[in-house]
Amino acid sequence: MSLLNPFNKRPGLNTATVLLVENEEQFQQSLANVLVEETAVTVNVRLAKTLPIPMKNDESRPRIDLVVFIINLTLDKSVKSAKASLKYLDPGYFLGKVCFMVTNARQALGCTGRLDAVRQLAVSLHCPLLFAEDQTPEGVTSSARRLLTILKVASGLVPNTTALYLSNLTRCAMPPDIDQPSFD
């Protein structure tokens, strides 16, 4: 069982590959449908429930440029499974090739603990945190568009920009504690 490595395969020509990891396997389907409609670049989408992924078809699998963890904030299991899957990624991925996508943030407003935990995770790993709306087609389209921007940079298709550079611009930051006294 080996880790997913970002650089152990040759990249494809004008191709970007993204791996969507979601425990519930709902949003990834609709997101994948929208992502594939992109015409400027050949987008390969791979879906997975958790990591590690089996090594059976490792030969045919292209190099994965971006790993997206889709977390449903209303389910605790989602967060746990995403955290558990993180172990199976080569550390090279965390230099800008991992992204967290969070759904149902509005319904989860009551229990902010989960959102804070996910945010803390994103901050500690220096990964961007995207909020997605998965119920309406417009929401799916807009989140797919955002993901596509990050994907294009992560696969090296945008000149003069690398994933590492972009990660500095898109890193998640913890909001300051409200209880702390503000500077006067």
Partner 1 sequence: MRDGRIEEILGLPPPDNVLSQGQQPPTPTINSVGEALLPPYQVYTVARHIVTLPLLRVLTSSEDPLKLRRFLTSSRWFDLLHMDASDNTGSLKEMVETVGQNGGPAAENCSALEGVLPAEMLRIKQQMSNQCFEMAVQLNAGKGKRSCSTSEAERELPNFVSELERAKGVHFNSTLVLHRLQMWHAIGEKMKQAGPDAAVLKTVSDRCMALCSQIKQLQIENRNLQNEITEIQKQRLEIKRLTHEKMKEMEGLMSSKEHPEKYNAVLEKGLSNLEKYKKMTIVTQNVLRGILLACKVNWLDDPTLRETVMTLEEFPISE
d(CA 53, CA 155): 20
141: contact with partner 1 by CB under 8 A: no
- The amino acid occupying position 47 is L
**170 contributes a contact to partner 1 by CB under 8 A:** no
Nearer of residues 131 and 161 to partner 1, judged by Cβ = 161
Read off the amino acid at residue 108.
Answer: A
Distance in angstroms (rounded) separating the CA atoms of residues 61 and 95: 21
Q: Does 76 bind partner 1 (CB under 8 A)?
A: no
Query: Taking the CB of residue 29, how many other CB atoms lie within 10 A of it?
Result: 13
Quick one: 57 or 136, whose CB is closer to partner 1?
57
List Cβ neighbours of 56 (8 Å cut-off, separation of 6 or more).
none
Closest-CA residue to 70 (of 45, 47, 92): 47
Query: Could you tell me if 89 and 69 are in contact, meaning their C-beta atoms sit under 8 angstroms apart?
Result: no
Instruction: Determine, following the binding rule CB under 8 A, whether residue 1 of this chain makes contact with partner 1.
Output: no
Min dist CB 108 to partner 1, Å, is 26
Does 88 participate in binding partner 1 (rule CB under 8 A)?
no
CB atoms closer than 10 angstroms to residue 63 = 18
| Contacting residue, 1, 10, 178, 184, with partner 1 by CB under 8 A | 10
Interface with partner 1 includes 64 (CB under 8 A)? no
Binding track, positions 93-132, relative to partner 1; x by CB under 8 A: ----------------------------------------
Positions in the binding site for partner 1 (CB under 8 A): 6-7, 10-14, 25, 29, 32-33, 36, 42-49, 53-54, 56-57, 59-62, 92, 155-165, 168
